[in-house]
Structure 1
């Protein structure tokens, strides 16, 4: 870990803060360095503690997983925040949400130390792995803090930013849109501070239409629909990006595959993913031909669906099917059928 005093004196001014931070960062040195690799980074006047962990199968495609423990310069008088920087699932977790309460399973209090938070990261990843195919649950975790300062330089892997003008009641307002396949955020600078104004799940975006140099977004909320008009600095790049985050395909590719998509218009993908999880768990308990065939069929359906909607998740199910077929015990069952 870097020399912490260089960061402490630059960020924290109150003597109570300095003593607390020095003690807390010293305690991080006793963490298992093989399990938690700690680095410090100063962001504006705040401290970012980067925690790198070993890969967790099947998350992050075998790459190290990075958390950020974000300390405001008012810490410990304000709560720390926990962000994920790495790509883990789809929809993504690396979108700026704060997962402190999901990690702790309670509200933070000043009596909870930083090393206690970090040591709970592995259990949080177990939870993510357990629900990796439940999209609604993945979106329910974490929270955004509306009308508060938003850190736009965390190093999130799965987001993209666009300078835009939002048209409201005929007037134009300068905004920043953060795009991801989980949430779309509206940000605005106020007195040189980036403030989160609103956010909405990307799945609620039902239509994107290019009108000259603007984009008209149609949002669904319960049974109501809301129109939003934005004028990005690069409309073509914006359209490609927002459609990519929404569907996994560019605008051109969407038009080419409209017929294929209609085939899956009413397809219940969550029901299929639930079946995949069910058969995988059953197969762990008992390997038999019936469960094996059901699981392979479910994998094939998932591959077909995600390929049709140009969703990169199809690669995940191709890999699962390949791994399954590569098992010796599975090969024995399949050879007995021949």
Structure 2
């Protein structure tokens, strides 16, 4: 019955919204061990997901040298799904490394090693870098060198890089992925740093002027902002409002909770009096994001990419929510 109601709601949505059609859904995979649970496989099949953007590694500096960090290990072979390697490159790499040709060769070779070991064929590589005004020349040179080795490149694009594109520049890739999340500052206040419509509207008017074709990345992740003595101490990934429904927490507001006694939460020490602020996008907000973006993006995106794939994130939303955000 639940599935039939979901199908009916999607049908009604499609029939009531003119000039919309389904856009393919994809996911980012951001864990270091590639192995899908049965629930994850079921969701991918039900949502007809045919592509995963898999973080192959980070690239950071060690003793002045750019090296791969936290590389992915494939504990099972991807089946019936395209894999796009994603490499997150810290901005520090381009602030200190000017040999972009050598860096591009090493990164592409590293991607090739992982692919050969796991018998993976690819058609695209994506780079994720929050470049700055001081690093953009080296980053853009790196892109040009990488294109000689893999012509089909994409890049993640932050909101500020769209609004201030004349200053920040535009990478010469086939297309960009607009990261429609992590909009605010992580602090002790009431603002949700993952998504805030008021903040989004400061940038959204510039989307139609951006010269690069944009796909859209939307958030389905969450975290708890751990606050002690009015200072943010760390983030607790995956924490949600439902985790606050026990005797360890007293509700202070809709998204803030106070720890009632010292205890360990999944290996983390929480002290009596600490504050946890939950930041998570609701199903209503996901639909709100898409409604705003439909009005603002110049060209229909070819993909909606959800960040990120894991069972806890997937099961937080009804299937019809995923279907709804895919209609454009």
Q: TM-score, normalised by structure 1?
A: 0.26
Rg comparison, structure with higher value: 1
> Relative contact order (alpha carbons < 8 A, sep ≥ 6): 1 or 2 greater?
2
Q: TM-score, normalised by structure 2?
A: 0.26
